[in-house]
Amino acid sequence: MTRRVLVLNGPNLGRLGSREPDVYGSTSYAGLVDACRKLGEELGLDVDVRETNDEGEMIRWLHEAADGALPVVLNPGAFTHYSYGMRDAASQRTAPLIEVHISNPYAREEFRHTSVVGAVATGTVAGFGIGSYRLALRALADELTD
């Protein structure tokens, strides 16, 4: 039986491949979706990848995850640094939640050094490009088997 997992992406992540490739790499959003689904299959996970520029939609997805005890890989994008509503939704998690970032926020502008989500996440993976998602999915699979 495969376990359903949500991979939730915040603002501007749908623009991967064209948005600042020197920071976020050249993989398109479609490439990210494909990579997550393929690795999910290998790990026995049914990966549902979503992206939104809307804070309210992200909060509704986190409520869906909490209500369904669904594990989450969460790249909050810019919401990471200021969305207390999203942080409060993430804190209601009923399954592992791994915060993920493509770049290393601590090697960037100072405002990116604060994550309001990190304290309520199971863990954080950052700075490995699209590989951050692969590491997060593997960590999630490990959490689910422990």
Q: How many helices (H) and strands (E) does the chain have?
A: 5, 5
State yes or no: is 133 an active-site residue.
no
State yes or no: is 84 an active-site residue.
no
Instruction: Count how many Cα atoms sit within 13 Å of the Cα of residue 27 in the half-sphere of its side chain.
Output: 17
Binding residues for substrate, as ranges, are: 75, 81, 88, 102-103, 112
Report the C-alpha gap between 32 and 38 in whole angstroms. Answer: 10
Set 63, 84, 101, 106: catalytic member: 101
**Which tokens go with 21?**
């490739």
Binding residues, as ranges, are: 75, 81, 88, 102-103, 112
Set 24, 63, 106, 113: catalytic member: 24
List the catalytic residues.
24, 101
